[in-house]
C-alpha cells in the first residue's frame, strides 16, 4: 500500500497495540513534564543566576504564557499536518529549547527559552486527540484514559524528578537530561507511530478562525468547556492556596515536605483509566455527574483539613480524583463530535480549561490573603455549586426536549 493511501486511511479499524498505547502515554507524560521541572528549582535558579525571587518566579509564569500560546496557535496544527511528523518536529525542537535553558547564564536567555519550552510542551495535547483518532470506537475511552494517566503521572513526578536530579548535578542537569529524553523520544515517535493524517482544505488562518465556528455550532463542546473550566478552577484553587496553609502556623511544613503532597495526586491517574473504561461502556454522562457531585462534596474534608491532616488528605484525594473523572469524561465526549477537527476541538476545550485554572489560582491567592483557608473553601464550594447547577439545568432541558 502506498504511503499516501496509508496516511488517509481511517485508523479506527485497527486495534492499537499495547506498545503504541504505552509510547503515547510515555510521550505525553514526558512532554508535559517539561513545563513543571522549574517549580522546585526556583531557589537554585535564583542563586545560580543571581536573580531576585520575582525574576526567578517568572520562569514558571512565562512558561505558562508559552503553553497558552501553544494551545491557541500550535495545537490546531494537528488538523492540518501529518500527526507523526508534527509531534516529532515539536519534540525535537523542545530538546533544543531545554538545552538552551540548561546552558542559560542570564535571565533573558532563560526566560526566552522557557517561553519556547512552554509552547512546545503542548505536544502532549496533540498526542491525546491523536490517540483518540487511532483508537477504535469500542476502545477509545480506555486508550484516552491510559494516555491521560501518563500525562497526569508526568505532571506528578516532574517535581520529584527535578528535585532529586538537581541535588546530584545542580539545576542545569535537570534540563540537560530532559533535553536528552526529548531526543530519544523524537526518535521513538518517528519509528513507533503510524503515519496518519486527516486532510483538510483549510489554510492556517482559516483553521484558527474555524475554532470559533466549532464553539458556536457545537453545544456539547460549549458545555464541556464550562465543566472543564469550572473543575480546573477548583483544582487550582486547592493547589495554589495549599502551600500557604501547609507552610503556615498550623502545619509549618518545609518546602520538601510540602512537595510530597503532590504524590497524593496519584489517585487522579487511577481515576483517568477507570473513567475511560466506563466511557467505553456508555457511562460517560453518569461519570460526569459523579465527578461534579464528588468535587463539590470534597470541599468539606478540605475545609476540615485546615486543622486535621487526615481530613486534608482525604479531601485532596477526592478532589483530585473527581477533577480527573470530569476531565476524562469531557474529552471522551468532545472527541466524538467532529472527528476531522479533534485538534481544534481540543484547542477550544483546553483553552477554556486552563483559563478556568488561571482564574481559580488568582482568586484563591487573593481570597486566602483576605479570608484565610475557610474563605478559599467557601469559594471552591460556590464554584462546585455552580458546576452542579449547570449540570442540573442541562439535564432538565434535555428531558424537556425528549419528553
Residue 315 CA, distance from chain mean position:
21
- The three three-digit cell numbers of residue 276, written as one number: 475511560
- Cβ neighbours for 356, distance < 8 A, ≥ 6 positions apart: 228, 229, 230, 231, 232, 233, 236
- CA 308 vs. chain centroid, Å, equals 29
pLDDT at 9 > cutoff 50: no
Q: What are 168-215's pLDDT values in tens digits?
A: 888 999 999 999 999 999 999 999 999 876 666 788 899 999 999 999
| Short-list 70, 79, 86, 342, CA closest to 190 | 86
Q: How much is the pLDDT for 229?
A: 95
Question: Does 8 score more than 50 pLDDT?
Answer: no
Residue 38 reports pLDDT greater than 70: yes
Q: Are 118 and 62 in contact (CB under 8 A)?
A: yes
Per-residue burial over 345-371, b = 16 or more CB atoms within 10 Å of its CB, e = otherwise: bbbbbbbbbbbbbbbbbebbbebbeee
Write the CB contacts of 261 (distance below 8 Å, at least 6 apart in sequence).
Answer: 242, 246, 316
- Full 3-state SS string of 106-174: CHHHHHHHHHHHHHHCCHHHHHHHHHHHHCCHHHHHHHHHHHHHHHHHHHHHHHHHHHHHHHHHCHHHH
pLDDT in tens, 95-116: 999 999 999 999 999 999 999 9
- Measure the CA–CA gap between 242 and 119, rounded to whole angstroms: 27
Q: What is the mean pLDDT of residues 281-305?
A: 92
Least confident of 46-60, 127-141, 249-263: 249-263
Domain with CATH 1.20.1250.20 in the chain: 14-198, 200-403
Q: Binning pLDDT at 50, 70 and 90, where does residue 134 land?
A: confident
Alpha-carbon gap, residue 90 to 169, rounded angstroms: 27
Q: Could you say which of 1.10.3720.10, 3.40.50.300, 3.40.50.620, 1.20.1250.20 is the CATH number of the domain covering 14-198?
A: 1.20.1250.20
**pLDDT band with cut points at 50, 70 and 90 for residue 261:** confident
Spatial contact of 161 and 37, defined as CB atoms under 8 Å apart: yes
- Do the Cβ atoms of 233 and 359 come closer than 8 Å? yes
Instruction: Give 26's pLDDT tier (boundaries 50, 70, 90).
Output: very high
Calculate mean pLDDT across residues 358-375.
Answer: 89
Three-class SS of residue 359? helix
Return the SS3 of 247.
helix
CA distance 146 to 150: 7
Distances (CA, A) of 173 to 30, 96, 269: 16, 14, 28
Count the neighbouring beta carbons within 10 Å of the beta carbon of residue 261. Answer: 16
260/275 Cα distance (integer angstroms): 26
For domain 200-403, the CATH superfamily is: MFS general substrate transporter like domains (1.20.1250.20)
- Residue 170 backbone class (left: φ over 0; alpha: ψ -120 to 50; beta: rest): left
Q: CA-CA distance, 238 to 67, in Å (whole number)?
A: 21
Q: Residue 249, SS3?
A: coil
385, 386, 388, 394 alpha-carbon torsion, rounded to 10°: 160
Helix, strand, coil abundance in the chain, percent, nearest 5? 85, 0, 15
Closest-CA residue to 261 (of 250, 272, 275, 247): 247
Amino acid at each position: 500500500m502506498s504511503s499516501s493511501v496509508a496516511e488517509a486511511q481511517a485508523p479506527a479499524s485497527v486495534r492499537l497495540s499495547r506498545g503504541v498505547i504505552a509510547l503515547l502515554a510515555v510521550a505525553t507524560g514526558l512532554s508535559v513534564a517539561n513545563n513543571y521541572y522549574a517549580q522546585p528549582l526556583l531557589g537554585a535558579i535564583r542563586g545560580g543566576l543571581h536573580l531576585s525571587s520575582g525574576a526567578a518566579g517568572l520562569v514558571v509564569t512565562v512558561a505558562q504564557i508559552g503553553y497558552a500560546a501553544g494551545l491557541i496557535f500550535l495545537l490546531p496544527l494537528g488538523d492540518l499536518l501529518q500527526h507523526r511528523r508534527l509531534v516529532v518536529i515539536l519534540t525535537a525542537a523542545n530538546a533544543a529549547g531545554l538545552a538552551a535553558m540548561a546552558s542559560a547564564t542570564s535571565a533573558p536567555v532563560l526566560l526566552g527559552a522557557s517561553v519556547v519550552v512552554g509552547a512546545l510542551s503542548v505536544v502532549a495535547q496533540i498526542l491525546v486527540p491523536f490517540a483518540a483518532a487511532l483508537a477504535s470506537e469500542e476502545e477509545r475511552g480506555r486508550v484516552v484514559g491510559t494516555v491521560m494517566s501518563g500525562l497526569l503521572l508526568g505532571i506528578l513526578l516532574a517535581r520529584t524528578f527535578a528535585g532529586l536530579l538537581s541535588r546530584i548535578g545542580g539545576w542545569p542537569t535537570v534540563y540537560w537530561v530532559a533535553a536528552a529524553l526529548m531526543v530519544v523520544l523524537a526518535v521513538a515517535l518517528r519509528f513507533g507511530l503510524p503515519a496518519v493524517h486527516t486532510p483538510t482544505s483549510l489554510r492556517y488562518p482559516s483553521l484558527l478562525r474555524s475554532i470559533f465556528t466549532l464553539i458556536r455550532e457545537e453545544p456539547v463542546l460549549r458545555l464541556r468547556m464550562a465543566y472543564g473550566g469550572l473543575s480546573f478552577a477548583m483544582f487550582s484553587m486547592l493547589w495554589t492556596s495549599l502551600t500557604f496553609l501547609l507552610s503556615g502556623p498550623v502545619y509549618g511544613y518545609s518546602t520538601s515536605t510540602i512537595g510530597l503532597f503532590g504524590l497524593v495526586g496519584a489517585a487522579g491517574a487511577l481515576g483517568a483509566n477507570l473513567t475511560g473504561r466506563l466511557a467505553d461502556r456508555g457511562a460517560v454522562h453518569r461519570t460526569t455527574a459523579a465527578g461534579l457531585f464528588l468535587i463539590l462534596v470534597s470541599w468539606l474534608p478540605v475545609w476540615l483539613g485546615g486543622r486535621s491532616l487526615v481530613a486534608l488528605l482525604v479531601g485532596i484525594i477526592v478532589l483530585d480524583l473527581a477533577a480527573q473523572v470530569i476531565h476524562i469524561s469531557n474529552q471522551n465526549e468532545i472527541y466524538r463530535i467532529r472527528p476531522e477537527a479533534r485538534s481544534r476541538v481540543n484547542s477550544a476545550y483546553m483553552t477554556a480549561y486552563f483559563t478556568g485554572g488561571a482564574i481559580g489560582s488568582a482568586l484563591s491567592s487573593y481570597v486566602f490573603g483576605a479570608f484565610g483557608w475557610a474563605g478559599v473553601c467557601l469559594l471552591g464550594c460556590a464554584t462546585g455549586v455552580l458546576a452542579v447547577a449547570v449540570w442540573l439545568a442541562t439535564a432538565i432541558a434535555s428531558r424537556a426536549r425528549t419528553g
